[in-house]
Amino acid sequence: MAKKEITTVEEMPEVSTKTVSKKEITRVEDLPGVGPKTAEKLAEAGYGELMSIATASAAEIAVIADLGEGTAAKIIIEARSALNLGFETGLSALEKRKNIGKLSTGSKEFDNLLGGGIETQAITECYGAFGSGKTQLSHQLSINAQLPKEQGGLEGGVLFIDTENTFRPERIMQMAQSAGMDPEKALANIHVGRAYNSDHQLLLVEKAKDLVKDNNVKLIIVDSITSHFRSDYIGRGTLANRQQKLNQHMHALQKLADTYNLAVYITNQVMSRPDMLFGDPTAPIGGNIVGHQSTFRLYLRKSKGDLRIAKLVDSPNLPDGEAIFRVTTEGIKDKE
Ligand code: GTP
Ligand code: MG
């Protein structure tokens, strides 16, 4: 018997007509199981895009859209598959890692600790007590990100989310001058968003996509990541809610880091741990959520005078260790 000639995709073995005629999903209302009413409810609650659905939890969607958790979970799975989230080959992961940029801190010793500098496609969390240099480093990175690659820069703009009103243009100008840059040009490349509360902070990051694209942003700073969350969610009863929002925030930052090959630097204060009798009785705020979702964690502490010690606490591919640097009028420098 002559084998039937295959001329259309439907005639191929293993391909059912269902697969072929599947409509492309580009909007929330295209998702199976989402009618116009549900889409409207979701959009009103800030879930108007496939990405926000794909990264939500079934419990969240169930409550917002008034659905069973099973249905909500199916909708999330559909959104994920429509966005092609999920697996990539080891080869394409390697290809992506080849594009990782390294942003210099201003100190060679500090850079060495980080394997060359702060990485793009990753979140670097810096925690430490007041005056340990977290904000000073954020200002220095805002300058350095604009430098040519040969000088440890990323040749891009900066998005600075300021939650504690600590961004100082005068300090930027001072550091820019020391780096041999035009101070006003340096300031023009830094886009500052002042966050007034934790929801506002979330929104600033969720709406950052266009700004990032249009201004070739290569560094996003959040100084600090937890202060609003700490004051907005007081009491144990709201802790789960807080952690969930913080989780969403960290996800949004990581997504930007991956999509636009940019570096994310976040600061975090420490709380004292009176229960700890030996060693350094401090722990970063935000607990596991911030810690687990940061690729690199740095602990800064004060030493004599303008000396500071940076300790690499958690890194996927670098040995833990310490570096000593200096916070000077000119900016972050080597100790000698
Ligand atoms: P919190 O936000 O309070 O938790 O602290 P932080 O870790 O952000 O500290 P920050 O980076 O603000 O460090 C403040 C310290 O940096 C000051 O105590 C000074 O030692 C140093 N510093 C800040 N500005 C200057 C400056 O213009 N010149 C010099 N030489 N040092 C500065
Ligand atoms: Mg600070």
Stretch among 31-45, 47-61, 73-87, 233-247 having the lowest mean pLDDT: 233-247
pLDDT at 286 over 90: no
State the pTM of this model: 0.78
Ligand 1 mutation pick, 167, 170, 172, 327, max ligand atoms within 8 A of CB:
327
Average pLDDT on 52-70 reads 90
Per-residue pLDDT tens over the stretch 181-237 = 999 999 999 999 999 999 999 999 988 999 999 999 999 999 999 999 988 887 666
**pLDDT at residue 130 above 60?**
yes
Residue among 105, 135, 141, 301 to mutate when testing ligand 1 (max atoms within 8 A of CB): 135
Cα separation of 55 and 58, whole Å? 10
Residue 106 Cα to ligand 2 middle (Å): 18
Atom of ligand 1 nearest to the CA of 136: 11
Domain boundaries, the chain: 28-82, 97-334
- Report the CATH superfamily, name and number, of domain 28-82: 5' to 3' exonuclease, C-terminal subdomain (1.10.150.20)
Closest alpha carbon to 256 in 335, 161, 133, 326: 161
Q: Residues lining ligand 1, judged by CB closer than 6 Å? A: 128, 130-136, 171, 269, 327-329
Q: Does CATH place domain 97-334 in 3.40.50.300?
A: yes
Ligand 2 center–CA 155 separation, angstroms: 25
The pLDDT tens digits of the residues spanning 240-260 come to 888 888 988 999 999 999 999
3-state SS of the chain? Answer: CCCCCCCCHHHCCCCCHHHHHCCCCCCHHHCCCCCHHHHHHHHHCCCCCHHHHHCCCHHHHHHHHCCCHHHHHHHHHHHHHHCCCCCCCHHHHHHHHHCCCEECCCCHHHHHHCCCCEECCEEEEEEECCCCCHHHHHHHHHHHCCCCHHHCCCCCEEEEEECCCCCCHHHHHHHHHHCCCCHHHHHHCEEEEECCCHHHHHHHHHCCHHHHHHCCEEEEEEECCCHHHHHHCCCHHHHHHHHHHHHHHHHHHHHHHHHCCCEEEEEECEEECCCCCCCCCEEECCHHHHHHHCCEEEEEEECCCCEEEEEEEECCCCCCEEEEEEEECCEEEECC
Question: In the block, which residue shows the tokens 């975090």?
Answer: 268
Res. 8: pLDDT tops 80: no
**97-334 shares the fold of 28-82:** no
Mean pLDDT score of the chain: 89
Length of the chain: 336
Name the residue at shortest CA distance from atom 4 of ligand 1: 130
Atom of ligand 1 nearest to the CA of 269: 4
Whose alpha carbon is nearest atom 1 of ligand 1?
130
For ligand 1, what atom is nearest to the CA of residue 164? 2
